[in-house]
Structure 1
Amino acid sequence: MNVHADSLTDKEQQIEQLLARMTLEEKAGQLTQLVVQKSPTGPVVANGGEDVIRHSGVGSLLGASGVQDTRRLQQIAVEESRLHIPLLFTEDVLHGFRTIFPVPLAEAAAWDPDLTQRTTRAAAVEASASGIHLTYAPMIDIARDPRWGRVVEGSGEDPFLGSALAVARVRGFHGKGPPEVSTLLSTAKHFVGYGAPEGGRDYNTSDLSERTLLETYLPPFRAAVQAGVDAVMPAYNELDGIPMHANGPLLREKLREQWGFRGLIVSDFNSVRELMLHGVAATPTEAVKVAFGATVDIDMVSGLYAQELPALVRNGQLAQSTLDSAVRRVLEAKQRLGLFDDPYRYSDAAREKANLLTPQSRALAREAAQKSMVLLKNEKALLPLHKDLPKLLVVGALADDQRSTLGSWPGDGRAKESISVLQGIKGAVSSATQVVYIQGASPDDLDLSEIDKAHQAALDADVVIAVLGERANMSGEARSRSSLGLPGAQDALLSRLLETGKPVVVILMNGRPLAIPHLAEQVPAILESWFLGSEMGNAVADILFGDVNPSGKLPVTFPRAVGQVPIYYSQKHTGRQSNKDAAYIDQSVTPLYPFGHGLSYTTFTYDPPTLSATQITATETLTVQVTVHNSGQREGEEIVQLYLHDNVASVTRPVRALRGFTRVRLKPGEARTLDFVLDQDDFALLDRYFLRRVEPGTFTVFVGGSSATDNQASFEITNTARVKGLGSAIPRMLRALANKTDE
């Protein structure tokens, strides 16, 4: 970058003057991030303690939160160091900070970008009030293998839904943006292909074709970049033989040069050092050269940038201008937050006290939890239950597990401040209802000692509510599973309960799709509740007893067996005449529950879709209209989904691809006509030369309540058109949201 002082703004001059005064060691320090450990005597900075701050050996810290601790550390940086450069405080704020909202996979089941933007905004208000400047979220990896533990952190299997929610989260973290002190810088992670590890094992190799990478895994990241995300974190995995922290073609050429990303690239935990374990660097010096060459700006915790970068510049192996470019990006991020003007602006004790776990944030957490649940099955309308039943039996260790309600990344959430499912049920029923709780079985072990006791209690109950699934620590980072059934002795417990002949309702708590075919066949009512956060118990009770009508839809496919994995709705046709030829000899090829599935306490019916035209040119738009009826007996919300299939193309296309969705609330007997508008970004494909174009031919559009709908209409595009540039990665339905600021 050629810097001409007479053409710079005052802020740019401030940074250039600061760069000119910095030593190589101080520059390397700005690119170094260290971990802060909490102790009874205060925060402890790893790899050098407070002196590393005094000597400008660190530019950002991971794990420091709370006004008292962050103010103390910031004071050292700006009052006791030579150049007084403020620190950047970072943390993983994935689905709440003190008030915990549903885990991202759960909230994706709400299919509600506005809700997601509001919960993310609330999380940003809390986190920024506690001194945090930058979060390592949103996690926007597409995941189609539920064995992988981190499926819980993302939005599921579909790039269109994933892109929509990525935009909503970026905008939520930003709010009105600087100088607003509740602005939280955001990080899109993990770039890219991390959600497709071989064997579903975390950190493992991902092997993706170029087409799959471009069409499925990259779109949410480009949408996040277009929405203004501040940082990108490379993934732990390798792709096509190149670890992502060394992947110049994707980081430098695709992300920075082609997409125009000007923000920070922050390494994942110790990942610069781990390039040696990958086998692409033999020494720390080589690891730094490779990562820095791929334009990774900040080295998280390994300390190698501070150790190696000054010498690399002095001996001519690294141009000082390249080092300065990375440092400049870090300083610009701090300047954007106003930290040079007031380094303590995120350290206000009164603001912290006023913004944590407020009644408003708890109410929002309850709303989000209500909308995130998916009613998978409800045979003979067993649900909702009456609140005045004489006796309810609640079983399962998870029913009384406050910690698991918070999920695998609970931020600063406290288990004691969360409502368990058992607490929610007890608080909802009438005073005449007896609620009996017996653990019965746990997901942690094969202890059968309480199963007989639960069996006997079930014989005397009107309804049995079994809370089954996984502990929160069974999902998340380094929490891959080789099986997808109910862990521990829970299957044995369920079998004994079903023997009683009493009505059994299963509430699932889990961070991934489960393979539960026998449960699905034998249990009359199943409510997928995931891990819903601080208000989980209250929200579950709201659905269970009918105060709220469930409306969630699955953002990910549920397999019948782990052998079907990876399984997803947007598969492609084979070349065989019959699908039976591509099936299993011992298992159905269909999913247990398809993407987009979710029931209600009412019913919805759809008229056939009508089109604004049956023939259009490649540059025209198409309006799809559909009328939805509430054909049941109570008010409810339906998530209307639109899918598109290109019937014949120069390259194979998915059997259907999501291209629109919306929520509609209808009273009994009410109908509403909805419009969806499709354009070039929906019709276009990457041809065999990876050029973006709309091809002539017939298309089928499907509109309904899940990806399995057969409600369809057809149209024809009469000519071809090359789509100039990259097009918009943000779905048409979200372009207004992408430009919206919300407080």
Structure 2
Amino acid sequence: MFAQSKEVANYATPEMEEQVEALLQTMSLEEKLAQITGTRLREIMVDGKLSLEKCREHIPHGIGHFCQFSSGLTLSPEELRDLVREIQQYLVTETRTKIPAIFHEEAITGFATQGATTFPQQIGVGCSWNPEIVRNNARSTAQNMRAAGATLALSPMLDLSRTAHWNRLEESYGEDAYLTSKMGVAFVRGLQGDDFKTGVAATVKHFAGYGTFNNNEKELYEEYLMPHEAAIKIAGAKSVMPSYGKYKALPVVANPTMLDQMLRKEIGFDGLVVSDYFSVSKTYKGYKQAPSEMIAGAMAINAGVDVELASPIAYPLLPEALQTGDVSMETIDAAVKRSLLMKAKLGLLDKDPVIGKEGTLDFDPLANRKLAYETAVQSIVLLKNNGILPLSKKVKTIALVGPNAATVHGLLGDYTYQSMISFWHSKEFDPTNPKLVTLKEGLENRLNSKVKILHERGCDWSAPLESKIDASGLGDDRLSKLKLLTIKGLPQPDLQRAIKFATQSDVIIAAMGENLYLCGEGRERKGIRLPGSQEAFVEQLLKTGKPVILVMFGGRQQLVSKFEDRCAGIIQAWFPGEEGGNAVADIITGKVNPSAKLCVTYPKTESKAEINYKNGYPDQNLVQYPFGYGLSYTDYTYSDLKINSEAKITDQRITMSFKVKNTGKVKGTEIVQLYISPLDTQSTMKPIQLKGFQRVSLKPKEEKVLQFKVSPQQFAEYKNSQWVIEPGLYKFMIAASSTDVRLESQIALKGPKKVLENGRSVFFALTE
């Protein structure tokens, strides 16, 4: 349970402030600007080796950050650590200021470097509803990053995603602000640990309302800001990245309303704001809201962006902006100070900073693989089961077909190392470093040797033109220079052979869906059906009359409405990471009872309209499976809800208790959800909102008493530029999903309207 009253530490100690102030007084303008820009390792390397000549030419005054420093390299852990040390040695011996750099990398699926543990993609992890496993994964990621000398991560991504058509949905924890906030807080706490000098600074992104419409002020404050606010106020996040989006027509990266008023003044953020890659210059180049790159830089730093990533484009022009009066020295100094304070906080300004870990390094130890496996198991959602699952021991022959049956490319989400080096750097990755377990391997590992697996791909993922690189938006500049790699080494699919195997089998396992080139930043598909000829292939498999278990891999919900009623079983595996094959196999065979529940609504059509369960699904025809839905191999009953019929707005907590029982024959884990609905017809609150959840593990016939303790602050709404708690009549619902309410009770919240002068301070229900 997370304590919510914990005072978050200030950005820096008085000693750090004093050290940085003294340093700042000695620095030239060029040295200051160097600290608020980032660059790439390629600028200082020749033939894969560090070039001191290039260092002296490119970073003579030092540098703030080295950006995504490991995800484009094919170095061993020790080689990576030694390279970081070599660069830091140059900075502390050959630059006048002797200030080390921050080496930062992506981390939503683990440290994005060769050989490091590859966890499931965040969209799958969201379906685990397990903040503790998020925290453990992030802790292991931080250990790997620190061992290599990295000190900051451009993670987690806390955007709310309400359409499967958005290609970055996979990076999110889903559509709900409460669930995303809980997961985000856990991620930040795990990554940063108890001390920045041993942990890794988390960067919460993308502030705020990226990938959606964020101009509705009430929804922006109540929902899209909440995960960032919770990560800052509860977990102590000290780095924030603005989005590529706009707010009220002005790019967020140059938007003082969002970055100064909302982030710093209202939320109280006192840390570092780093730009998304190339976003500062896009105010000029892309949005065309600045007459020059110099003015674009001035607009960004004036709005509150401290560091320009990933290349020094606009901020080196700030001396000109000083001359023209478009920026002040005070503003530049404030950004430099925050940048240096982050370095002090991370231990980089210590007398003898610790860079990397000594000895032989293992970025994928057994403990990490176990975490990756357990996370995958808890992320995989059972959507449909007519009794075919778990597989009966009577099954002797399995037809394993589909493009994701025996390949690794359906295991890997965007911002995994493998995805980054192949998509952004056009290099092949090694599927054995770390070892990636395919579904075929998983089934072979788990099934009795007497069970025959007949494998044939049957179809490819898609036609070559199914996915294309979309460089038309206002994202990363590199997109316009990329091309999609061809996945090599695969045999041509043989449709007839696959159908023959299907007719000879007791059951068909059809592994369909996307790969790392069909979903992710800059990768556009025309729709959200199964790609290419996969739908037609599934139809032919169904015509055999044999039971079909559809296993879908990918970064988004993909339509199954065409044949949902005819499939014997449907499993949503997402991008399940390095242990994905073993995890899916264990669910299919019954070694593991699935527990995951959807963190997004599953659509029934290709409509691009955003779907948000909080609106109550007014059009049921758009919804295949509701938010919070997921099946198990056992059944649970809920009973004996106890709660007072009245509470006061001034109460500390509103307590309720109830019982959950496993009535089946196998142990399982139920994800119990608490929702509230306003009953007053004049209420401006959404029709239904998640306000608590907990995972409960139960043996067969076991019953447990659970509690939720809800804060009246969880009823707060943003109205007329204030946070207010209003009296009224509300319904509390204990549920198995947003549409499967098992227990409910009305409660009258009484007392005069209460204004929260300092905004929200309590975000979550307590559980027991």
TM over 0.5: yes
1:265–1:8 Cα change, 3 Å: closer
Q: Normalising by the residue count of structure 2, what TM-score does the alignment of the two structures yield? A: 0.87
Match of 1:623, SS? strand
> Which amino acid is 2:318 matched to?
L
Alpha-carbon shift at residue 686 of structure 1 (Å): 2.5
1:458 aligns with 502
Alpha-carbon shift at residue 132 of structure 1 (Å): 1.1
> Which amino acid is 2:696 matched to?
V
Does 2:621 correspond to 1:589? yes
Does 2:727 correspond to 1:696? yes
> Which amino acid is 1:248 matched to?
P
Q: Is the 8 A contact 1:388 1:429 kept in 2?
A: no
1:217–1:729 Cα change, 3 Å: farther
| Deviation readout 1:612-657 (Å, 9 max, x if unpaired) | x102222223212221111111110000000001112655222210
1:17-166 matches, within 5 Å, as 17-37=22-42, 41-42=47-48, 49-52=54-57, 54-65=59-70, 66-97=80-111, 98-166=116-184
1:628-647 matches, within 5 Å, as 628-647=660-679
2:408 aligns with 402
2:73 aligns with none
Does 2:200 correspond to 1:184? yes
1:510 aligns with 554
1:741 aligns with none
> Which amino acid is 1:370 matched to?
V
1:436 aligns with 454
Q: Separation in 2 of the partners of 1:52 and 1:242? A: 36
Alpha-carbon shift at residue 427 of structure 1 (Å): 1.1
1:683 aligns with 715
Mean CA deviation greater in 271-280 or 715-724: 715-724
Q: Separation in 2 of the partners of 1:233 and 1:729? A: 22
Q: Is the 8 A contact 1:406 1:418 kept in 2?
A: no
1:53–1:18 Cα change, 3 Å: farther
Does 2:459 correspond to 1:445? no
1:499 aligns with 543
Q: Is the 8 A contact 1:108 1:156 kept in 2?
A: yes
Q: Separation in 1 of the partners of 2:440 and 2:314? A: 50
1:510–1:313 Cα change, 3 Å: same
1:534–1:387 Cα change, 3 Å: farther
Q: Separation in 1 of the partners of 2:662 and 2:550? A: 26
Alpha-carbon shift at residue 53 of structure 1 (Å): 5.6
Equivalent residue for 2:18, pick from 13, 19, 22: 13
1:179–1:300 Cα change, 3 Å: closer
> Which amino acid is 2:527 matched to?
S
1:210 aligns with 217
Q: Normalising by the residue count of structure 1, what TM-score does the alignment of the two structures yield? A: 0.90
Q: Separation in 1 of the partners of 2:159 and 2:636? A: 32
1:346-361 matches, within 5 Å, as 346-350=355-359, 353-361=360-368
Q: Which runs of 5+ in 1 are unaligned?
A: 1-6, 197-205, 574-578, 737-743
1:383 aligns with 389
Alpha-carbon shift at residue 162 of structure 1 (Å): 0.7
Q: Is the 8 A contact 1:105 1:151 kept in 2?
A: yes
| Deviation readout 1:506-550 (Å, 9 max, x if unpaired) | 111010112220232210101111111111111111111111110
CA RMSD of aligned residues (A): 2.4
Alpha-carbon shift at residue 375 of structure 1 (Å): 0.6
1:199 aligns with none
Does 2:546 correspond to 1:530? no
Equivalent residue for 1:238, pick from 246, 266, 271: 246
Alpha-carbon shift at residue 457 of structure 1 (Å): 0.9
Q: Separation in 2 of the partners of 1:703 and 1:558? A: 21
Q: Separation in 1 of the partners of 2:157 and 2:403? A: 29
Q: Identity of aligned pairs, percent?
A: 33
Equivalent residue for 1:322, pick from 328, 331, 341: 331
Does 2:312 correspond to 1:300? no
| Deviation readout 1:275-305 (Å, 9 max, x if unpaired) | 0120210111110111111010001134234
Match of 1:190, SS? strand
2:693 aligns with 661
Aligned residues: 701
1:478 aligns with 522
Q: Is the 8 A contact 1:686 1:692 kept in 2?
A: yes
Q: Is the 8 A contact 2:629 2:737 kept in 1?
A: yes
Q: Separation in 2 of the partners of 1:691 and 1:640? A: 32
Q: Separation in 2 of the partners of 1:554 and 1:237? A: 27
Q: Is the 8 A contact 2:410 2:513 kept in 1?
A: no
Q: Separation in 2 of the partners of 1:735 and 1:330? A: 38
Q: Which runs of 5+ in 2 are unaligned?
A: 1-11, 71-79, 419-428, 465-490
1:373 aligns with 380
Q: Separation in 1 of the partners of 2:723 and 2:14? A: 38
> Which amino acid is 1:390 matched to?
K
Q: Separation in 2 of the partners of 1:45 and 1:484? A: 47
Alpha-carbon shift at residue 467 of structure 1 (Å): 0.5
Alpha-carbon shift at residue 718 of structure 1 (Å): 2.5
1:498-647 matches, within 5 Å, as 498-563=542-607, 565-571=609-615, 583=619, 588-607=620-639, 609-611=641-643, 613-620=644-651, 621-647=653-679
1:137–1:522 Cα change, 3 Å: same
Mean CA deviation greater in 471-480 or 539-548: 471-480
Q: Separation in 2 of the partners of 1:481 and 1:92? A: 24
Does 2:271 correspond to 1:282? no
| Deviation readout 1:537-575 (Å, 9 max, x if unpaired) | 1111111111111000000000100226311210169xx
Q: Separation in 2 of the partners of 1:522 and 1:71? A: 58
